[in-house]
Amino acid sequence: MMNEQWRHLTTKLPEWLDDCRQYAKDGEAASYIPELAKAPADALGISILTPDGSMIAGGDSGLQFTMQSISKVFTLLLALVDHGEEHVFSKVGMEPTGDDFNSILKLELVEPGIPFNPLINAGAIAVTSLIKGSSVAERTERVLAFIRLMAGDDAIDYNETVSRSESVTAHRNRSLAYFLKENGVLDEQTSVEEVLSVYFNHCAIEVTCGHLARMGLILACGGFDPLSGRQLVPRRYVQIAKTFMLTCGMYNASGEFAIRAGIPAKSGVAGGILAVVPGQYGIGVVGPALNRKGNSIAGIRLLETMSVECDWSIF
């Protein structure tokens, strides 16, 4: 691919990376999951992939990191494939929330007591409980197989050390899960610890920016993989996922990001961001230093800069 915008991206990306990397000093790597605190806080990398297979990569794009909340987009897609819209959205809502991603407040205050959306922690735990399988290992393997398919890499796996680290410190997530069980979102036969084990495992799946770019490209193309020529996910389910990314994907900074960048995106507390320019690009970003809302501070700045410079906003 060699049009004017692509040439502009290729020429300007090193400058944008240098300019945006400096913002990392104003954030810090996540410390509430001890393993994540070990990440290089000053790292910043990006990969951009087009439907014809052209890729630009810059900065620390080869850095491995765990998907964390980015994985919630794909567990939602898998749950939709397993159960369809009606059942999934009987367990989780479709609305943004201005609360923190791990808030328990509205589960108690707002009827009918289901999570507001699938991209907050409570919603993702509810969605994880819907993934078919007879054991933690089987359900984890199904998520891994789906991620591997979307990313085009059969070697992708989850980091057991990070998963254990999340489990040991997951007091709030356990509270959320038991509240969901009390509200009937998780049924009586569902083991909270088994659901959480699958949840921690899929959050701990390790990827690079290149993997996210490939996954994002499939979303950008409505579930069609232009590199293999296959429809991997029903278009309708991808529309749902991208809508949630736009309205809820950057935690309680989603509205601000929609105004400043105007593209669907999903962040994770390891510093990753999956972004989509519909019909054009899949984008993977990593920048482990987070702002106070849990988003990569340099990564957000980079995406906002590029969106303005290349006129990516869908609005």
CA distances from 134 to 35, 258, 295 (A): 29, 39, 34
133: its two tokens = 């399988």
* Dist. CA 65–CA 270, nearest whole Å: 6
User: Tell me, what's the pLDDT at 128?
Assistant: 98
Q: How many CB atoms lie within 10 A of CB 239?
A: 13
Pairing of strands 206-207, 45-49: unpaired
- Does position 138 have pLDDT exceeding 60, yes or no? yes
- Does position 145 have pLDDT exceeding 90, yes or no? yes
Q: 69-204: which CATH topology? A: Beta-lactamase (3.40.710)
Contact in structure between 67 and 270 (CB atoms under 8 Å):
yes
What is the arithmetic mean of pLDDT over 56-66?
98
25: its two tokens = 């000093």
Residue 279's Cβ-count burial label (10 Å; 0-12, 13-18, 19+) is: exposed
Q: How many CB atoms lie within 10 A of CB 85?
A: 12
User: Tell me, what's the pLDDT at 110?
Assistant: 64
What is the arithmetic mean of pLDDT over 38-56?
97
- Does position 12 have pLDDT exceeding 80, yes or no? yes
User: Tell me, what's the pLDDT at 32?
Assistant: 86
User: Tell me, what's the pLDDT at 82?
Assistant: 97
Contact in structure between 230 and 247 (CB atoms under 8 Å):
no
Any idea which residues carry the catalytic annotation? 69, 72, 199, 251, 269
Contact in structure between 287 and 269 (CB atoms under 8 Å):
no
What is the arithmetic mean of pLDDT over 65-84?
98
Would you say 173 is a known binding-site residue? yes
Confidence band of 109 (pLDDT split at 50, 70, 90):
low
69-204 matches 4-65+207-310 in CATH topology: yes
Beta-bridge mates of residue 205: 158
User: Tell me, what's the pLDDT at 102?
Assistant: 57
Q: What is the pLDDT of residues 222-256, one digit of tens each?
A: 999 999 999 999 999 999 999 999 999 999 899 99
Would you say 178 is a known binding-site residue? no
What is the arithmetic mean of pLDDT over 27-53?
95
CATH number 1.10.357.10 is the correct assignment for the domain at 4-65+207-310: no
- Does position 55 have pLDDT exceeding 90, yes or no? yes
What is the arithmetic mean of pLDDT over 151-175?
95
Domain boundaries, the chain: 4-65+207-310, 69-204
What residue has token string 């994002």? Answer: 216
Confidence band of 304 (pLDDT split at 50, 70, 90):
very high
Q: What is the pLDDT of residues 270-303, one digit of tens each?
A: 999 999 999 999 999 999 999 999 999 999 999 9
Would you say 269 is a known binding-site residue? yes
User: Tell me, what's the pLDDT at 13?
Assistant: 97
- DSSP 3-state assignment of 31? coil
User: Tell me, what's the pLDDT at 97?
Assistant: 75
Q: Which residues contact 166 (CB under 8 A, 6 or more apart)?
A: 33, 35, 200, 203, 204
- Does position 99 have pLDDT exceeding 70, yes or no? no
Share of the chain above pLDDT 90, in %: 87
- Does position 135 have pLDDT exceeding 60, yes or no? yes
Would you say 277 is a known binding-site residue? no
What torsion, rounded to 10 degrees, do the Cα atoms 236, 173, 91, 130 define? Answer: 70
* Dist. CA 304–CA 20, nearest whole Å: 10
User: Tell me, what's the pLDDT at 125?
Assistant: 97
Contact in structure between 129 and 135 (CB atoms under 8 Å):
no
Would you say 69 is a known binding-site residue? yes
Q: What is the pTM of this model?
A: 0.95
- Does position 59 have pLDDT exceeding 70, yes or no? yes
* Dist. CA 198–CA 131, nearest whole Å: 9
* Dist. CA 225–CA 208, nearest whole Å: 19
User: Tell me, what's the pLDDT at 188?
Assistant: 85
